[in-house]
Amino acid sequence: MSDTALPGSKNPAARNFFAALQLDTRLLGMIGAFIVLCLVFNVFTDGRFLTPRNIFNLTIQTVSVAIMATGMVFVIVTRHIDLSVGSLLATVAAVMAVVQTDILAHPDILGLGHPAIWVIALIAGIFVGVAIGAFQGWMIGYLGIPAFIVTLGGLLVWRNVAWFITSGQTIGPLNETFTMLGGIGGTMGESASWIFGILAVGMALWLQIGSRRRKASHGFPVKPAWAEVTIGAITTIAILGFVGILNAYHIPKARLRRMFEAAGETMPEGLTVGYGIPYSVVLLILVAVAMTVTARRTRLGRYIFATGGNPDAAELSGINTRFLTVKIFAIMGGLCALAAAVASARLGFSTNDIGTLDELRVIAAAVIGGTALAGGVGTIYGAILGALIMQSLQSGMAMVGVDAPLQNIVVGTVLVLAVLVDIIYRKRTGE
Amino acid sequence: MATPLVEMKDMCISFGGVHAVDHVSVDLYPGEVVGLLGHNGAGKSTLIKILSGAYKADSGEIRINGEEVHIHSPRDARAQNIETIYQTLALADNLDAASNLFLGRELTSPLGFVDDDKMEAETRKIMGRLNPNFKKFHAPVKALSGGQRQSVAIARAVYFNAKILIMDEPTAALGVHETQMVAELIQELKKQGLGIFLISHDIHDVFQLCDRIAVMKNGQLVGTAKTTDVTDDDVLGMIILGKCPEGATPGPGALVDDTVLG
């Protein structure tokens, strides 16, 4: 079973093509909207929107918000909200920046450029993020203060704790290995990207076959073989296509020449090298897989959705809903730390205003991705797609040259409309 | 009979000065159905929620098979093989039947992951026994009819080999056919030696299903009686007036002579 929260027809005997594929129709709708959006922008930008370069940039710009949005799904599913994620990101970014530049880089400790710096800084950041998240979760779960209030307070507190940690200064430049988490500064290169893509395809197909076998062994109805093959083919094409696009974005000639010069070699004539998959995207993929597994295959995830659907029932079933709240907010804090690493690494510095308004982007991404504020419903992949749609809208409009105030008007309107469409959809399908 | 399966002695609980349950003692023997009766707000549900771990009693003693137990949470109650079917059913509407049936007690694979397929298979088995018409294994339970939802709640209580079953208004939302189904199930469970507390407003149901009744009024026990020793009218008198008829054992809440208490 893969549908704790997914609407959509599950009738295996359906005659209709899409019904036989048993895909989440809501997801299809979102992907459809995303494709239309991309095509429209592509027309208005004279084909500049759907270039490997822009797709690469869109991807790395989305990562930070998308990582946090996966955690926001759990928060919103349990009928809470977290308004503090942007500020928490700033505090954690400040901690990681100070740890690596002021403490670890000190000659008496590890020294500038030591290879272990980035790991220690990241672990310190995750520790701080989880601790702050757990503390907020404790206030919500055990003291009974509404999440809205606790995290509204957190929004003000953590933004300014960050300010104190850095004395209001921009901290940097960050450790070179650390900045590889940021995006364009750290990519896998073409061959490794293809290997990663092929492994991902193998994994996806293995999971698909395994699920079918398990269902068959229990004697449950399974999809027709052609439907399985179609889904497998779509997955394969999507993954390899994505890798192909990222590989097709070539490192600019001048930069490549400088890289060769730095290595003391001369660049062969006509050589092109693609960037490949950025490490930040690998991180997002790992987070997405881990969070999806948590949501669907662990007791924690089951309890999160049960509590969101009916808190009283969850409690009567012996679920410790208070401690569950602590866990959820701790996860959110940990994800804020990962997002902080990506965001500050991308800038190469930790600034005071890092992550400003991210709480709204993250909540919007989760909601556009189908997470219901009433609780109990939401998917990880939906939130990531929501983040991607938000980012595409924003950078697409910037490329077209839409005035800045109008951009925000459009984004705000889209958020409200997306929720309206969702409500109408749920009414129609009776979900 | 030997030791009672459940003994609740002198249970008290109050909420903000209101004595919701006031020195109530009831017991339950294996293979017996005890009906708990009373007006809305008489304290039946509260009493039963103490046993199921949803509320914690202010004072009183609970004995299971003669041994004193402390029930602080629903988890403790389940550990004593006490299962409850709540009036509200206590289902997570957004989850499917299998997830609800195993909520809090999920079957897991050797790696510790939730084994949905196995849970679905088990759910199909027990539903095949309880409600063979049940087909919607993948729909969230909010998409089910009242009777189907009820059968999920019942399946949850029965599946885990309960020794003590608490049913709070199990037939309130059901049609005639489904009510009959529940009645047959109760008879079957009785034969297996379960003790059942049944809360109901339906006097007819009570006389059909219960061996004994316990009547509550204003948080106090009016009295207990074997259903064979009293009539419909006697029971109504107990519920409405708090008058304990001959053939019943009076409790602290029974009317003394003809003076009205309170």
Is the pLDDT at B85 greater than 60, yes or no? yes
CB distance A371 to A19 below 8 Å: no
Cα distances from A239 to residues A62, A235, B225, B245, in angstroms, run 18, 6, 72, 78
Nearest to B166 by CA among B69, B43, B55, B52: B52
What percent helix, strand, coil does chain B show, rounded to 5?
30, 25, 40
Looking at residue B262, its pLDDT comes to 43
- Chain A residues in contact with B84 by the CB 8 A cut-off are 316
Q: Based on C-alpha coordinates, what's the Rg of chain B?
A: 19
Residues B135 and B143: beta-carbon distance below 8 Å: no
pLDDT at A18: 66
| The predicted structure's pLDDT at residue A5 | 39
Whole-number average pLDDT of chain A: 89
| C-beta atoms of A376 and B94 within 8 A | yes
Q: Is the pLDDT of residue B130 over 60?
A: yes
| pLDDT, average across residues A78-98 | 96
Query: In this predicted structure, what is the pLDDT of residue A9?
Result: 40
Which of residues A272 and A140 earns the better pLDDT score?
Answer: A140
Give B170's pLDDT tier (boundaries 50, 70, 90): confident
According to the model, what pLDDT value does residue A426 have? 78
Sign of CA dihedral A244, A246, A248, A251: negative
Q: Do B90 and A4 lie within an 8 Å CB cutoff? A: no
pLDDT at A16: 64
| Chain A residues with CB-CB distance to B103 below 8 A | 302, 306, 313-314, 317, 319
SS3 label, residue B224: strand
Query: pLDDT digit string (tens) for A191-233?
Result: 899 999 999 999 999 999 988 888 888 878 788 888 889 889 9
The residue to which tokens 């505090």 are assigned: A91
What count of residues does chain A have? 431
CA-closest candidate to residue A323, choices A297, A290, A300, A295: A300
- B-chain residues near A3 (CB < 8 A): 96, 138
| Residue B260 clears pLDDT 80, i.e. is over it | no
- A309-349 pLDDT per residue, tens: 999 999 999 899 999 999 999 999 999 999 999 999 999 99
E strand map for B16-104: 18-28, 33-37, 59-64, 67-69, 82-85
| Beta-sheet pairing, B18-28 with B33-37 | unpaired
| CB-based contact A213:B117 (threshold 8 Å) | no
Inter-chain contact B117–A214, Cβ cutoff 8 Å?
yes
Interface residues of chain B, partner chain A, Cβ below 8 Å = 52-54, 73-75, 78, 84, 86, 88-96, 98-100, 103-106, 108, 112-114, 116-118, 120-121, 138-140, 143
pLDDT over 60 (residue A13)? no
Task: With beta carbons under 8 A apart, name residues in chain A contacting B56.
Answer: none
Q: Answer whether B120 sits within 8 Å of A315, measured CB to CB.
A: no
Distance to chain A for B94, nearest Cα, Å: 5
Strand pairing category for B59-64 and B6-15: antiparallel
Distances in whole angstroms, Cα of residue A69 to Cα of each of A277, A336, A379, B140, B254: 21, 9, 10, 25, 60
Query: Cα torsion for A171, A172, A178, A179, to the nearest 10°?
Result: 120
How far from the centroid of its chain's Cα atoms is residue A259's Cα?
31
The tokens for A113 are 């450029």
pLDDT at A7 over 70: no
Q: What is the pLDDT of residues A278-288, one digit of tens each?
A: 999 999 999 99
Helix, strand, coil percentages (3-state) for chain A, rounded to 5, are 70, 0, 30
Chain B residues in contact with A78 by the CB 8 A cut-off are none
Q: Give the Cα separation of A21 and B136 in Å (integer).
A: 19
Confidence of residue B258 (pLDDT cuts 50, 70, 90): low
- How many Cβ pairs closer than 8 A exist between chain A and B? 103
Say whether A299 and B74 touch across the interface (CB within 8 A): no
For residue B95, give the nearest of A298, A305, A312 by CB distance: A305
pLDDT band at B122, cuts 50/70/90?
A: very high
* B178-196 mean pLDDT: 88
Shortest distance, CA A369 to any CA of chain B (angstroms): 17
Whether the predicted pLDDT of A12 surpasses 60: no
Amino acid at A399: M
Residue A1 reports pLDDT greater than 50: no
In this predicted structure, the answer to whether residue A3 has a pLDDT above a threshold of 90 is no
pTM for this model (two decimals)? 0.89
Half-sphere exposure of A187 (CA within 13 A, CB side): 25
Average pLDDT over residues A297-318: 94
Give the pLDDT of residue A110. 82
The verdict on ipTM greater than 0.95 is no
Distance from C-alpha of A288 to C-alpha of A290, rounded to nearest angstrom: 6
Band of residue A264 on the pLDDT scale cut at 50, 70, 90: confident
Percent of chain B with pLDDT over 90: 41
Higher model confidence: residue A149 or residue A372? A149
> Does residue B135 carry a pLDDT above 90?
no
Do residues A355 and A343 touch, judged by C-beta distance below 8 A? yes
User: What's the mean pLDDT in B77-88?
Assistant: 89
Query: Which residue did the predictor score with more confidence, A88 or A117?
Result: A88
Mean pLDDT of the region B240-262: 74
Among the partner-chain residues B74, B94, B112, the one whose CB lies closest to the CB of A309 is: B94
> Structure tokens of B64?
């299971």
Quote the CA–CA distance of A133 and A153 in Å, as a whole number. Answer: 13
pLDDT at position A6:
39
Average model confidence (pLDDT) across chain B: 88
**What's the average model confidence in pLDDT over A100-115?**
83
Residues A409-425: tens digit of each pLDDT: 998 898 898 888 888 88
pLDDT band per the 50, 70, 90 thresholds, residue A94:
very high
Amino acid at B230: V
Question: Is the peptide bond between A173 and the residue preceding it cis, with omega within 30 degrees of 0?
Answer: yes
pLDDT at A373: 87
Nearest to A299 among B91, B98, B106 (CB): B106
